[in-house]
Amino acid sequence: MILFDGCSWTWGDGLENREQDRFSTLVSDFVGKEHVNISEKGKCNDGILRTTMEYCENHAVDLAIIQLTKISRREILDSKGEHYIRLNAGNKDLASLSYYENLNTNADDIANFYKNRFLLEYFFKVKGIPYYIVCLNRKKDLLYNTRRSSWQKMTETKPLTSLYTLFGGGRRDNTPFFNFPNGHPNKKGHQVIAEHIHENIL
């Protein structure tokens, strides 16, 4: 069983035949294995780490393909400990407005990204689960103006592939790989992502 987790890119937002054409289905078809896709629209890296580990603790997983998302997205547990609240810089809810006005910093976003990456890598190694991790963040999005955090120093030294680089790394409105105005990969874009992942998990 191949596990896929990520945000709306892995979920297949904007695809007419989402479950059929998203890259998770294409990769599983390439390798001839069943898969499960637990991605969600708007999911943050905290949530991706949490649900990936929860799934692997309760199910047999032969391979994990994880797509990390925008570094600014976060989640917090509500006061009753019952639900996770998603924080997004574009949201107008009180929790998001308060967090991004009073607490959020770019340095902390970057440190949190590397913390999530390290914990995923460490978890997979302990569990003996082969994995491949990609991200949405370009290299310039993950540069510090100050010294690197300890989390960054503990991750694998090889940089993660940014999915944007597969499409030339340019604007999303001048390539044939995106849906507009949705801004997510179209059917052709998912094929490109699937081919890249397939090549790197052989």
Query: Which pair of tokens denotes residue 201?
Result: 């998990």
The dotted CATH code for 2-75+107-201 is 3.40.50.1110
Q: Where are the domains of the chain?
A: 2-75+107-201
What would the pLDDT profile of 33-45 be if each residue is shown by its tens digit? Answer: 999 999 999 999 9
What would the pLDDT profile of 51-86 be if each residue is shown by its tens digit? Answer: 999 999 999 999 999 999 999 999 999 888 889 999
Torsion of CA 156, 163, 9, 64, to 10 degrees: -40
The amino acid that residue 69 corresponds to is T
What would the pLDDT profile of 158-177 be if each residue is shown by its tens digit? Answer: 889 999 888 876 566 657 88
Residue 151's pLDDT band (boundaries 50, 70, 90)? confident
Which residue reads 């898969």 in tokens?
35
What would the pLDDT profile of 98-108 be if each residue is shown by its tens digit? Answer: 999 999 988 89
Contact 13, 22 (CB under 8 A): no
By mean pLDDT, which of 8-12, 76-80, 139-143, 152-156 is the weakest?
Answer: 139-143
Residue 144 has pLDDT above 90, yes or no: no
What DSSP assignment string belongs to 54-103?
Answer: HHHHHS--SEEEEEE--TT-EEEE-TTSS-EEEE-TT--SHHHHHHHHHT
Q: Residue 27 in 3-state DSSP?
A: helix
